[in-house]
Chain A
Amino acid sequence: MSGASVTEASSGQKWIAGVLVIAYALITIMPLAWILLTGFKTPPDSIAYPPKVVFTPSLEGYVNLFTTRTRVTPETLAALPPPANFAEAIVRDRGMVIAGRSKFGERFVNSVVIGFGSTALSIVLGTLAAYAFSRFKVPLKDDLMFFILSTRMMPPIAVAIPIFLMYRQLGLSDTRLGMILLYTAVNISLAVWLLKGFIDEIPREYEEAALIDGYTRLQAFVKVVLPQAATGIASTAIFCLIFAWNEYAFAVLLTSGTAQTAPPFIPTIIGIGGLDWPATAAGATLFLMPVMVFTIVLRKHLLRGITFGAVRK
């Protein structure tokens, strides 16, 4: 036989594969790029036809995102002292003054607290439950695992009304704690099932060696199991965070003020002073950042996490 190999692609195949991957990447990146660019356009540029690809960047979208503004008469505007900063200058160019801070900052903080809080809680509870299911003789283990999975068998929003009523009774409506508990409840089944798969793959001998070497069961879990389950924990955390971060339906229904997250807030920007696409795009851009950073930080774990169980260590 010549150098042709069954497993290694020829250079031609690699070229074709490369072109296809780049084409696919361009198609998927396009909407994201459009959002990113729109955030730096002025409102007229953002709705210009034909669409502008080359434009003078402006921070107007971001200024509008973080502020509320009032229209004033040209006389009042002329009587004002010179603008104190670039934001005020941009706003005055449109014949308005800054009236105060918008709610976006608070909503974004809510998203961070609720998203990461529920992810952390899901991972802690999920890891402990998965370890118990993986290692101990739990009565009715299979039934319990099925029961946990069954919470995902209908769309969570199908139980929105009971949850809404329950939350009102419990005083959890529009609270961060309520949203953390809700997202944890939804994520816990995913966390338990994924993590059980990962923990099943860690040979018991490691813990048993640790037990014999002088550790208690809990110490063996913390010092031996957790480091080896890091990959699984990281990828499970990404999945949990993505759900909690992007969740819209419950957030609309259960939050309105203090605990509102960014997803239900961003669309409301559109309503302030006409269709403010740059501000909306700016909000979406900022909203995408944390999950992107989190995923990039943990990405080396993610690939192995997604293919979990497929390849033995």
Chain B
Amino acid sequence: MAEIVIRDLRKDFGGFNAVKASSFTIADGEFFMLLGPSGCGKTTTLRMIAGLEMPTSGEIWIDGEEVSRKPARQRDIAFVFQMFALYPHLNVRANIAYPLVSQGLGRAEVAARVAEAAAILGIEAMLERPVGGLSGGDRQRVALGRAIVRRPKAFMMDEPLGALDAEFRERMAGELRALHDRMGATTVYVTHDQLEAMQMGDRIVVMNHGVVEQFGTPQEIYDKPATLFVAEFIGSPPMNFLPFEGRVAAGGDRVRLGGADLAVPCQHEAAAGRLVFGVRPEHVTFDDAAPFRGRIEAVEYLGTTQIVTLSSAHGTIRARSAASLPARVGEAVGLRFAAPCVTLFDEATGRALRSALHGEGGAHG
């Protein structure tokens, strides 16, 4: 069990800068998600924490000890790979026992620890089987067994559900979270799937192009995106962006766009020029009296809700509404935006403007 502190971590591959001066702290016992699109540096960051890549510069503290120059075997962490990395020439029991045998533990101790890990994961029945014939979910359980049997300070997981089919993934996500809650071990989990991150994580770091865009709880990340990238990456469908030319004063709570005067949260900083009005689909409602107009282009029925796609003078807008609400393609409607949930962005920097919603500065990395 350990706190992990990352300070100014940087990694260059030749001329390519994969991770740029990232800093964040992972609390003891936390289920921490590293989220981002492929190539954003999240896996490289995880591999640096694990000791599989050496950082170009920066510090990594695990449990109060600076480990950035130590080899992986001295860091006392466990790693779960996307492709499971089970040794094909060993059976399930030998795979789980492997890290203990390599540490030179006695036979009785190894047997007891393997039995304990197998019981936690519910795989006692398959201990003598070769790993070749196991399903994806079972393989990942064995890989988890190999991780937990060591009782490491922390778990590193690199898209452990990525190779599973959708049905297994759902179930394993639940199992993983339950396992974490039972063991209380610090877990760092890499994923590109925002739903997985929201569903399982205590806190999330969103990375893009080697930069930490934002870190916070799933609610903070979703409700108060610090950058345009985060706002677009999180949420399905993503946040609506209405770019406009305008200005907003500190203390102001209205902006003009599309000939309409729209309410926004009380702004804490002034800005002018190209701005972006960001609003989530569920905060868009229909009101024929509203001055901001749109035309319905498409309707996607999702059961309890529907996604209505509209065109407006400021671009395409998606609205999530109750499925019972009548919406016909071609119809012109007025749109209202839930003012407390609106975020204004500076288009040039991509940064969210400070406001009553975001507080001072937010949690931008």
Listed in ascending order, the chain A residues whose CB lies under 8 Å from chain B are: 203, 205-206, 208-216, 219, 224, 227-228, 313
Chain B residues, Cβ within 8 Å of A219: 102
Q: Which residue of A lies closest to B90 (CB)?
A: A227
Chain A residues, Cβ within 8 Å of B87: 206, 209, 224
Inter-subunit contact A213/B73 (CB<8 Å) = yes
Contact with A along B79-120 (1 / 0, CB 8 A): 101011101110000000011001100000000000000000
The complex places the Cα of A215 from the Cα of B87 at a distance, in Å, of 14
Chain B nearest CB, measured from A201 CB (Å): 12
B72 contacts which of A203, A205, A212 (Cβ < 8 Å)?
A: A212
Chain A nearest CB, measured from B340 CB (Å): 47
The complex places the Cα of A213 from the Cα of B86 at a distance, in Å, of 12
The size class of the interface chain B forms with chain A is 20 to 34
The complex places the Cα of A215 from the Cα of B52 at a distance, in Å, of 13
Chain B nearest CB, measured from A51 CB (Å): 52
Residues of B61-85 whose CB lies within 8 A of A: 71-73, 75, 77-79, 81, 83-85
Chain B residues, Cβ within 8 Å of A206: 85, 87
Inter-subunit contact A213/B85 (CB<8 Å) = no
Chain B nearest CB, measured from A272 CB (Å): 52
The complex places the Cα of A206 from the Cα of B87 at a distance, in Å, of 7
Inter-subunit contact B77/A205 (CB<8 Å) = no
Listed in ascending order, the chain B residues whose CB lies under 8 Å from chain A are: 50-52, 71-73, 75, 77-79, 81, 83-85, 87-89, 98-99, 102-103, 146, 150
Inter-subunit contact B52/A214 (CB<8 Å) = no
Inter-subunit contact B73/A215 (CB<8 Å) = yes
Given A209-B81, A210-B98, A213-B103, 20 more contacts at CB 8 Å? Answer: A203-B83, A205-B81, A205-B83, A206-B87, A208-B52, A208-B72, A208-B79, A209-B85, A210-B102, A211-B73, A212-B52, A212-B72, A212-B75, A212-B79, A212-B99, A213-B98, A213-B146, A215-B73, A224-B87, A227-B89
The complex places the Cα of A210 from the Cα of B90 at a distance, in Å, of 13
Inter-subunit contact B81/A214 (CB<8 Å) = no
Inter-subunit contact B77/A212 (CB<8 Å) = yes
The complex places the Cα of A228 from the Cα of B86 at a distance, in Å, of 12
Chain A nearest CB, measured from B343 CB (Å): 40
- How many cross-chain pairs have Cβ atoms below 8 Å apart between A and B? 56
Inter-subunit contact A211/B98 (CB<8 Å) = no
A209 contacts which of B51, B79, B89, B103 (Cβ < 8 Å)?
A: B79
Chain B nearest CB, measured from A207 CB (Å): 9
Chain A residues, Cβ within 8 Å of B51: 211-212
The 14 sampled A-B contact pairs (Cβ below 8 Å) are A203-B83, A205-B81, A205-B83, A208-B85, A211-B51, A211-B72, A212-B50, A212-B75, A212-B99, A213-B73, A214-B99, A214-B102, A228-B89, A313-B88
Chain B nearest CB, measured from A15 CB (Å): 35
Chain A residues, Cβ within 8 Å of B98: 210, 213
The complex places the Cα of A313 from the Cα of B83 at a distance, in Å, of 13
Chain A residues, Cβ within 8 Å of B146: 209, 213
Q: Which residue of A lies closest to B98 (CB)?
A: A213
B99 contacts which of A205, A213, A216, A313 (Cβ < 8 Å)?
A: A213
